[in-house]
Amino acid sequence: MAAAPVWSVDPRTGKQREQVAVEATAQEVDATVRAAHQARGALADRTVRSAFLRSAADELEAAKSTLVEAADAETALGPVRLTGELARTCYQLRAFADIVDEGAFLDVVIDHPDGTATPPIPDLRRYKVPLGVVAVYSASNFPFAFSVPGGDTASALAAGCPVVVKAHPDHPGLSELVAKVLRRAALRHGLPEGVLGLVHGFEAGVELVRHPLVAAAGFTGSVRGGRALFDAAAARPVPIPFHGELGSLNPVLVTEAAAAERAEEIGTGLAGSMTLGVGQFCVKPGLVLAPAGAAGDRLVKSLTDAVSDTDAGVLLDHRMRDHFVAGVAERAQLPDVESPVTPGAGGEHTVSAGFLTVPAGRLAAEGEHDLLLEECFGPVTVVVRYEDDAEVRAVLSRLPGNLTATVHLSEEEGAGQGRGAEILGELTPLAGRVLVNAWPTGVAVAPAQHHGGPYPATTSTSTSVGGTAIERWLRPVAYQNSPQALLPRELRDDNPLGLPRRFNGALER
């Protein structure tokens, strides 16, 4: 039977544009993974790796106009958004190149023998080595930053791991173009094309996570799809790490004092955050706790005005559009749920932004309103009106894990008066990033960033953004009583590579 074709589809019309590939067979997945496995040795030199990452950024920038045009045709995200995302992606590649050059990610620790310790300490030398081939599953909503050239790929290559990407069906044509660009950069430094493999198709994605030469996987997508792959990774004869980002409500708490102080500003800011990118950001605020009194009414009015002025938009594909329309309709029919601005179908191919409100008491205990505690992908949020702190605590206690949690405080609360510090303590168990008087949309690529959170936000405690994302693809190895001549150069006393390290308990740089 002939392999199924892979079509590029225009989300603005739902029509097929062109066939760009065919779905990979099990044999083709095997060949791609084996080529990546054979490329491991070529990535061993850190100087070559960092140069490759920088060249990849250079090549992507050189092809910017072609890539942005292709991305817009398949995602409808718009040239401005996509140009910015490509710039972020190139910055990320160069940031990981800097990390590779510095070498601190190797976490070198050397302890000389100490017979006076109890028990005695032998000669021990520890550092981190790459896991092997990494499978990367592209996201639909970030065709650059969380796709073929994105953070999972960049951090895995930086760690010294070849990558096989499972292309997302929403932008297969762009995926092919970007893979060619990255392979061109690899060839500039004598690296084989196998360092970056690409496969298409649902079954190919399943075969990939099961392949015995795949050592780890990174995923960004739905809870359902991510959990299926996570379970497959765990069910292998040799289980592998699966770093999945699955779903997040990103709750926001607005204190009564904050609403009294600046309700209109908060309402406008919320509208901008929840509708950004047609509500297709993984950190979109999907549930907002706002007071039930007059200050909360002002916030809701401001949100109503701002959302009402938002134009209808195109989602990434028609399947997502159908899920959004059905999802908001089902939520709106629940008892005591109101729709100040009704979300739903904005046209044959578009959706309109809106929001729902519900009394906090409806979410304080298990019931049919639990549907409101599930992520709804698209331009909608749920405003939960609370009467007192007890209702706030009751709702927070029922929330699943999240990527972010936000609190808006008054000026006095931010200065330490009132429950500000207590609220931060209540939000910390819920999320990997806690914000104060800000909005979660927009994830800075910075050393201190953490993009992850308790399940179902992610399946591990690691981050997929920021320098420490490289740690996902490494494992520590300790050598005991090895002669200097046999040691890797990274672990020798004379430190020929000039690496940051901890030497006999002292940090050396």
Whether cis (ω within 30° of 0) applies to the bond prior to 285 is no
Residue 347 Cα distances to 15, 255, 312, 352, 457, angstroms: 16, 37, 8, 8, 31
Give the angle 401-405-411 at the CA atoms, nearest 5°.
160
Are 445 and 468 in contact by the 8 Å Cβ rule? The answer is: no
CA 204, CA 162: separation in Å to the nearest integer?
18
Catalytic residue among 28, 245, 413, 490, which? 245
Instruction: Say whether 368 is catalytic.
Output: no
For 218, residues 6+ apart whose C-beta sits below 8 A from its C-beta are 134, 135, 136, 137, 152, 156, 243, 244, 464, 472
For residues 53 and 154, the answer to whether their CB atoms sit within 8 Å is: yes
Q: Determine contact, residues 343/279, Cβ cutoff 8 Å.
A: no
- Residue 479: its H or E element: strand 474-480
Cis peptide before 119 (omega within 30 of 0): yes
Determine the 3-state secondary structure of 137 from DSSP: strand
Q: Please give the single-letter amino acid code of residue 71.
A: A
End-to-end CA distance of the chain: 60
176 is catalytic: no
CA distance 6 to 217: 23
Count Cβ atoms below 10 Å from residue 340 Cβ, excluding itself: 15
Report residue 186 as tokens: 């690899």
Q: Out of 90, 161, 282, 376, which one is annotated catalytic?
A: 282
Residue 224 identity: R
- Rounded CA-CA distance 450/306 in Å is 30
With contact defined as beta carbons under 8 Å apart, do 37 and 162 qualify?
yes
Strand runs labelled E in 45-102: none
Burial class of 402 by CB neighbour count within 10 A (0 to 12, 13 to 18, 19+): buried
The catalytic residue positions are 245, 282
